[in-house]
Structure 1
Amino acid sequence: MINYHPDSRMLNEFSAGSLPLAQSACVSLHLNYCSTCQRESRKLQQMGGMLFERLAPCEVDASLLDSVMSRLDEPAPLTYEAKTTATDESPALMRRLMKGGYKDLEWDRINSGLQISRLHTGDVENEFALYHIKAGRTIPRHTHKGTELTLVLEGSFSDEEGIYQRGDFLMRDAEHEHTPTAAKSEDCICIGVLDAPIKFTGWNYRALNPFLSLQAH
């Protein structure tokens, strides 16, 4: 059962197409697991369409129209898709971003319990990465200089505020300080989307803070 969801503001911005691409991909992947948020997103899109239809027509500058028409040939935006096979449980969008499976990715070893693989979304302002936390291991205690979105893909983890399982979606910011810890029974793989570097608060990791930077691409 999914217990954690995007808030109404974020879901509204996602439905309106105004979220940054990496954040939108994270919300879209949550919708792959969550029928409740799927229904809410469709309602918001329908409401937006009704409001759009009520707008009075206006003249469009020819150069603007040419610009819009040229964008029709661009790749389609990232959207959620239902799972297509019983043998591959990864969401279709996740398979598209990974261009294969977890084993095909390049993983950076942060410490003995944590590996990170940064994926390309085309968003140059938000880092989109996979975090592989070994069973029972912990990400060092930290807070956030900006916004951090997290979506659990495999396994589960906990922090000072709760336990998060497959499909759960979290948003953390500078008001939150936590120590994510994978369940002892299995490894945890989750998505992390950052618009600013995290800030370690534990004394043994604080020296790293000046060297942390986003790797958005």
Structure 2
Amino acid sequence: MIKHHPTTTILQRFVDGDLPVSVSIVVASHVEICLHCQQRSMQLTEQSAKALFQQASGQEILVQSSDLDDLDMTIDEISMMDSITSIDVTEDKMASETPLPKTVTEIEINGTRIALPRAMRSIGLKPWQGFGKISRARAVLDDGHLKMSLLHLAKGGGIPTHTHNGFEITLLLESSFHDDMGEYNAGDFIWLDGKHTHSPLTEQGCVCLTVSNDAIHFTQGGSQLLNPIGKFIY
């Protein structure tokens, strides 16, 4: 059962198209599998559409007859331009056409096949890299300082106690893990920042989709020696 969801503010920004690409992909992936957030997103979309319609209908538009004549001329000119340029555009498109990104519906990790959310299926992944029981495949996505990755923790794997120099969004795609704040299952959406300290651990292994804008920072014991590789994990 999904217990952790994006806030209403995040969903509203998602509906409005006002999120960075990588964050929008994670939210879209959660909405795809969460009936509660599907319904909430539909409500927010309807509310936004009504607000825009009311705003538009409240504006008076005065049209002069001469303006209509100019409009007719403009439409005729556009039609002529379309007929002239359509062939050129088609020829140019044929000359420069490139293959569409390959659609990948699932991936294999340690012999287990994992279905990918629709929002992830046209995004490439760099080769998997491993460190102990932690493996990461970075998404081929240019989103400024934000990094999106698939993260795999093997059975019995965990990440030592740490906090975050920036923020970290985690969408659990497969299985479960727990930390100091609770237990998380497939579909859970978790947004953490420097106010949170935790040590994730999974008994069965898990796969997550993550987005972060900075490295994690280990806070206890000998694990602090690992801080130079904090950027590897996220």
TM-score grouping bracket, smaller chain normalisation: 0.7 to 0.9
How far is the alpha carbon of 1:98 from its aligned partner? 4.3
How far is the alpha carbon of 1:207 from its aligned partner? 3.4
Match of 1:12 in 2: 12
Aligned equivalents of 1:50, 1:196: Cα separation in 2:
38
Aligned equivalents of 2:233, 2:180: Cα separation in 1:
27
3-state secondary structure, aligned to 1:97? coil
Structure 1 unaligned regions, length at least 5: 60-82, 100-104
1:131 equivalenced with 2:151 (yes/no): yes
1:107 equivalenced with 2:128 (yes/no): yes
Aligned equivalents of 1:195, 1:214: Cα separation in 2:
13
Identity score, percent:
32
Match of 1:96 in 2: 122
Equivalent position to 1:152, from 165, 172, 175: 172
Equivalent position to 1:200, from 215, 218, 226: 218
Amino acid at match of 2:210: G
Match of 2:199 in 1: 179
Aligned equivalents of 2:17, 2:119: Cα separation in 1:
17
3-state secondary structure, aligned to 1:131? strand
Which structure would you say has the larger Rg? Answer: 2
Which region of structure 1 is more displaced relative to structure 2, 200-209 or 118-127? Answer: 200-209
Q: Deviations over 1:87-123 (max 9, x none)?
A: 9743222332247xxxxx511112x210111102331
Aligned equivalents of 2:225, 2:156: Cα separation in 1:
25
Q: How many residues of Structure 1 are paired with residues of Structure 2 in the alignment?
A: 182
Aligned equivalents of 1:37, 1:28: Cα separation in 2:
10
What is the alpha-carbon root mean square deviation over aligned residues?
Answer: 2.6
3-state secondary structure, aligned to 2:170? strand
Greater fraction of residues in helix = 2
TM value normalised by structure 2: 0.70
Structure 2 unaligned regions, length at least 5: 62-105, 107-112
Aligned equivalents of 1:58, 1:177: Cα separation in 2:
55
Aligned pairs for 1:17-166 within 5 A = 17-56=17-56, 89-98=115-124, 106-110=127-131, 112-166=132-186
3-state secondary structure, aligned to 2:19? coil
Aligned equivalents of 2:60, 2:150: Cα separation in 1:
45
Distance 1:211 1:133, change over 3 A: closer
TM value normalised by structure 1: 0.75
Aligned equivalents of 2:118, 2:168: Cα separation in 1:
23
Q: Deviations over 1:165-190 (max 9, x none)?
A: 111110111110000111x2x22000
Q: Confirm or deny: 8 A CA contact 1:97 1:121 kept in the other structure.
A: yes
Amino acid at match of 1:96: S
Structure with more relative contact order (C-alpha pairs < 8 Å, separation 6 or more): 1
Aligned equivalents of 1:204, 1:129: Cα separation in 2:
26
